[in-house]
Amino acid sequence: MTRRSAFAAVALAAIAALGSQTAALAGPKSSETAPTISLKGGEPVLGASVSFSTTYSNVKYPAVEVNCYQNGALVWGQVGLPTDIFKLGGDSSPWLSNGGGPASCVGELLSETWRGTTEEAMTVLATTPFAVSG
């Protein structure tokens, strides 16, 4: 082996070693799936009960928030657990007060961060928009 080829072999070995160290520093690739949320059931209507299918992992305090809008104005909203059932429009809301009608709604899967009894942050993990007939 010539000096030049010996140097090249050492250089390639060093580069390969550096590459494996970089991969080790990056950590293992995650096999986790991305968080998702989807509306269960068929076409929702005002006053109907709806629930959501969710997938997530490593979320200590998951929540679902549902907000409905008419002409860009919030007319009803509720926050609950991913397993909760939500009554669209609730028992008293601007949506019911103004006579109902169609609304554009969105369900959001959230991760809440708490310090003691104080909520510090809510991070949106996934969303699902849906239309509601009134």
Do 86 and 124 fall into the same domain?
yes
At 119, the pLDDT band (50, 70, 90 cuts) reads: confident
- Residue identified by tokens 């996934």 is 126
Q: Are 45 and 94 within one domain? A: yes
For residue 55, what are the β-bridge partners?
36
> Percentage of residues in the chain with pLDDT exceeding 70?
76
Residues 64, 10 within the same domain: no
Same structural domain for residues 73 and 118? yes
50 and 86 share one domain: yes
Is the same domain home to 90 and 44?
Answer: yes
Mean per-residue pLDDT, 14-29? 42
Same domain, 49 and 19: no
pLDDT at 30: 55
Average pLDDT over residues 60-80: 96
Kindly state whether residues 85 and 104 are assigned to the same domain.
Answer: yes
Both 100 and 61 in a single domain? yes
pLDDT category of residue 17 using cuts at 50, 70 and 90? very low
Number of compact structural domains in the chain: 2
pLDDT reported for residue 114? 86
Three-class DSSP labels, the chain:
CCHHHHHHHHHHHHHHHHHHHHHHHHCCCCCCCCCEEEECCCCCECCCEECEEEECCCCCCEEEEEEEEECCEEEEEEEECCCCCEECCCCCCHHHHCCCCCEEEEEEEEEEEEECCEEEEEEEEEEEEEEEEC
Q: Which structural domain range is residue 1 located in? A: 1-31
Write out pLDDT tens, residues 30-67: 567 899 999 998 899 999 999 999 999 999 999 999 99
